[in-house]
Amino acid sequence: MSFISLNFVVFLVIVTGTYFMVPKKYQWCVLLIASQIFYLLASLNTYIFLLLTIVTTFYGGQLIQRQGDKYKAHIAEHRDELDRKRKKEIRAQYDKKKQRIMLGVLLFNFAILAFVKYFKVYINMLGEILQLEWVHFDAGILIPLGISFYTFQSIGYIIDVYRGQYKADENLAKFALFVSYFPQIIQGPISRYDQLANQLYEEHSFEYERVKFGAQLMLWGWFKKLVIADRVAILVNQVFDNYTDYVGFYLILAVIGYTIQIYGDFSGGMDIARGVSQIFGIDLALNFERPYFAKNIPEFWRRWHITLGAWCRDYIFYPISLSKTFGKLGKRSRKIFGERIGKLLPVIIAQLITFFSIGIWHGAELKYIAYGLYQAIFIIGGIVFEPCLAKLTRLLRINTEAFSWKLFQIIRTFGLVVFGRFFSRGVSFSAAILMMKNSLVFNPGIFISGEIFTLGLSYREFLLVIICLVFWIIISIIQENGYSVRKLVSEQNMLFRWAIYLIGVFAIIIFGVYGQGYNANAFIYRGF
């Protein structure tokens, strides 16, 4: 069941009606049942993997919590008999048990993720590297819907319980809702337990204003997905699927188109998920904050797929860079490379590992690893050369507060992001490299001759996309300046408000891409 199908709209109406009609203390039960039905309808054959993650992380959290409680009880019982050193030894014993439980849960769930998502790819890659024809795996493995999202969310929970940030959930059914909550299970966001769980379990009253805002956000998500992203996808697919036939501005136009498509597709899906949740009185984490307005790559990653970046920062980057091993590495490096580089080296290695992990998260193929490392290179370069760049800026007497400089930074960062999209969209690593090389061919004549209209989009469709993009940019500028568009609309007279709503609905109906041959499940991040 897709967010952009009529079945989903009917499903949502039924769930919403039931949610607000039942006694409030049972509202979370409605969401739990709805979530299980949603997942079963979408991915019946892989439901067992979701259950395994729910059960292992729930009982793993319980066991960790039990060890913590035992330690506290032991200390309380023998408080007068134990000196500080002995208390420390006892704590170390219990911490070791907790760590073993946590690692067991992590390994089990990452093993499932690695098997269903990466086993086939790596077995075949190994066969190619070793040039062994018999090492080849053709059998298809069904990838559970949203497995990367719910696995990372569950793993974050078990690590936080181990760290003592909050107590383990004591209700298996409620915990199952946290893991499988249907608006976010397809493509995120990756929520934290302490931010989401209580909202799911709390009682919520029907509030017209909140429901209206939620519906508006869903409408905006559908617009970005159906009218912009899926229309641009026609051109993108034509060029990328036949990349050997195109050079120069064909490839540049296609990769810019994909940059627009993936943002409209992914952020549109997030808007629908957040809008649905807002109807229920639940605020999901923000996953996008106008990333193409970023002035550098680190800022881009603070605005793009925010919850994945935050997850990798808190559970990969910080644990690695602040570990004792990396602390020792930093001390040795300072003696060899000097104070500054020695201090930066642990951070640089941690960044490489983090973005390598982000690449692997997207997929096992070499192109995704290259995509992650491509991002890391610019982030590390910015860290290493920051003093040089600051000095150069001063020498050139650049006013860093001027609009022109900020615009240059935005355009520069957007260009770097666009170029990296060859890796994430190319059919393979070698195809991405070839497309990058061929994109340097200078052939502006295609815009004059009208050859660009042979890529699947007519002149009128190009014009429609441009008008919609201008509208989207205006909305984004308003939001970037701190204004809520939905609030601004709600303050207008009723006639004007409803005119906007109807224009939005009819724009989706008239200009949206759907119908025969259209795959309603084709969200780019659905497969992750």
Q: What is the band of 467 on the pLDDT scale with cuts at 50, 70, 90? A: very high
State how far the Cα of 205 lies from the Cα of 282, in Å rounded to an integer: 11
pLDDT at 94: 87
Q: What is the band of 487 on the pLDDT scale with cuts at 50, 70, 90? A: confident
Q: What is the DSSP letter of 453?
A: G
Q: Which residue has the tokens 């869903």?
A: 218
CA 195 vs CA 15, 35, 65, 282, 460: distances in Å:
23, 19, 19, 10, 45
Q: Which of 193, 149, 180, 169 has its CA nearest to residue 59?
A: 169
pLDDT tens digits for range 352-368: 999 999 998 888 788 99
Residue 408 · residue 414 · CB < 8 Å: no
User: Mean of the per-residue pLDDT values for the chain?
Assistant: 89
Measured torsion, CA atoms of residues 92, 164, 103, 96, in degrees rounded to the nearest 10: 10
Rg (CA), the chain: 25
Lowest mean pLDDT, pick from 76-85, 307-316, 335-344, 448-457: 76-85
Q: What is the band of 519 on the pLDDT scale with cuts at 50, 70, 90? A: low
In sequence order, what are the residues at sequence separation of 6 or more whose Cβ sits closer than 8 angstroms to the Cβ of residue 94?
Answer: 67, 68, 70, 71, 74
Q: Which has more pLDDT, 258 or 324?
A: 258
Q: Which of 154, 145, 143, 147 has its CA nearest to residue 59?
A: 154
Count Cβ atoms below 10 Å from residue 28 Cβ, excluding itself: 23
Q: Which has more pLDDT, 335 or 149?
A: 149
State how far the Cα of 171 lies from the Cα of 28, in Å rounded to an integer: 12
Q: Is the pLDDT of residue 415 over 90?
A: yes
Q: Which has more pLDDT, 271 or 365?
A: 271
* pLDDT mean over 289-314: 95
Residue 57 · residue 179 · CB < 8 Å: yes
pLDDT tens digits for range 42-78: 878 889 999 999 999 999 999 999 998 888 887 877 7
Q: What is the band of 127 on the pLDDT scale with cuts at 50, 70, 90? A: low
Quick one: 258 exposed, middle or buried, by C-beta within 10 A (0-12, 13-18, 19+)?
buried
Tokens of 376: 């890391």
Q: What is the band of 139 on the pLDDT scale with cuts at 50, 70, 90? A: very low
pLDDT at 135: 45
pLDDT at 129: 55
Q: Which has more pLDDT, 522 or 166?
A: 166
Rounded to two decimals, what is the model's pTM? 0.90
Q: Is the pLDDT of residue 261 over 70?
A: yes
Q: Is the peptide bond before 183 cis (omega within 30 degrees of 0)?
A: no
pLDDT at 515: 60
Residue 17 · residue 24 · CB < 8 Å: no
Q: Which of 203, 136, 195, 189 has its CA nearest to residue 160?
A: 195
In sequence order, what are the residues at sequence separation of 6 or more whose Cβ sits closer than 8 angstroms to the Cβ of residue 412?
Answer: none
Handedness of CA 273, 274, 279, 280 (dihedral sign): positive
Measured torsion, CA atoms of residues 269, 153, 307, 254, in degrees rounded to the nearest 10: -50
Q: Which of 236, 193, 177, 207 has its CA nearest to residue 29?
A: 177
Q: Is the pLDDT of residue 394 over 80?
A: yes
In sequence order, what are the residues at sequence separation of 6 or more whose Cβ sits closer than 8 angstroms to the Cβ of residue 152?
Answer: 190, 308, 311, 361
State how far the Cα of 299 lies from the Cα of 522, in Å rounded to an integer: 29
Residue 149 · residue 305 · CB < 8 Å: no
Q: Which residue has the tokens 């098997």?
A: 115
Residue 251 · residue 243 · CB < 8 Å: yes
Q: Which residue has the tokens 């508006």?
A: 216
Q: Which of 160, 172, 202, 135 has its CA nearest to residue 56?
A: 172
What is the share, in percent, of the chain residues with pLDDT greater than 90? 62
State how far the Cα of 28 lies from the Cα of 173, in Å rounded to an integer: 9
pLDDT tens digits for range 140-199: 445 677 888 999 999 999 999 999 999 999 999 999 999 999 999 888 899 999 999 999
The crossing angle, in degrees rounded to 10, of helices 324-337 and 339-362 is 130
State how far the Cα of 312 lies from the Cα of 152, in Å rounded to an integer: 10
Q: Is the pLDDT of residue 419 over 70?
A: yes
Q: What is the band of 137 on the pLDDT scale with cuts at 50, 70, 90? A: very low
Intra-chain end-to-end CA distance of the chain, in Å: 16
In sequence order, what are the residues at sequence separation of 6 or more whose Cβ sits closer than 8 angstroms to the Cβ of residue 240?
Answer: 254, 258, 425, 426, 427, 435
269-298 residues labelled b (16+ CB within 10 A) or e (exposed): bbbbbbbbbbbbbbebbebbbbbbbbbbbb
Q: Is the pLDDT of residue 130 over 60?
A: no
